[in-house]
Amino acid sequence: MTQNLELQTRNALSFVQKLYFEISYLIKEVEGLLHLEEEEFVIGRPSGYAVTSGKSTGLEPANVESWLSKAFTVFYVPDKETKLQSGTTTTPFHNHLRVLLLDIELEGKKNKIPRIMAGVLYDIQSKRDNYTKFEHLMFEFIYSRDKVFASAPELNYEDSYLSMKGNLFNLPLFSVQTSEDISQKIVEPMLARYRQIK
């Protein structure tokens, strides 16, 4: 019995680690393909070269559920729109700011099927004087995710921190199997939406 539990534990942890590696490869491949475009997109770095993800080490039952990250969000922005310094980017707000969003959710409160949500965000306005760059607001996609994505695919979100619009699409995570899938199912639709917004 004990050996069976030990094996199951090793297998479970190994599977989750492999899944996380595959997600990281997908995010980096999207980054590489977008950088080849005329806009020379780069990945936003709110806290270094990392995804935005909710996590917890709390022992309360609600916090224990967050020990394992279930959603990961990144954004991409044209190189000329941001500055990289000390491992983080600064993408200042302005009237015509547009960013590409890639959100991967393994399981949510409402969504039980692993999915990708992607597209363009625009008309982004900060409502706090101390939030001067888009990176400051990435927490919204983790802590307010059900509200942020409630109106998707046409996003129209506002709270006390920001307002923004978006044109998004979603697809099952495991429908993306190859580099060609990444290009055709994620990158090309993202770019089409980005280039439609002026």
- The reported pLDDT for the residue numbered 156 is 94
Q: pLDDT of 131-153, one tens digit each?
A: 999 999 999 999 999 999 999 99
pLDDT in tens, 150-177: 999 999 999 999 999 999 999 999 999 9
Distance from C-alpha of 74 to C-alpha of 52, rounded to nearest angstrom:
6
Percent of the chain predicted with pLDDT > 90: 88
Please determine, for residue 62, whether its predicted confidence score (pLDDT) is greater than 90: no
Q: What is the pLDDT of residue 56?
A: 87
Q: Give the DSSP letter string of 56-81.
A: ----SHHHHTTSS--EEEEEEEEGGG
Mean pLDDT for the chain overall: 94
Question: Under a CB-based contact definition with an 8 Å cutoff, are residues 115 and 173 in contact?
Answer: yes
CA-based end-to-end distance of the chain? 62
Diameter of the chain measured on Cα atoms: 62
Q: Where in the chain are the domains? A: 2-196
Task: Tell me what the mean pLDDT of segment 116-145 comes to.
Answer: 95
Dihedral pair phi/psi, residue 61, rounded to 5°: -50, -40
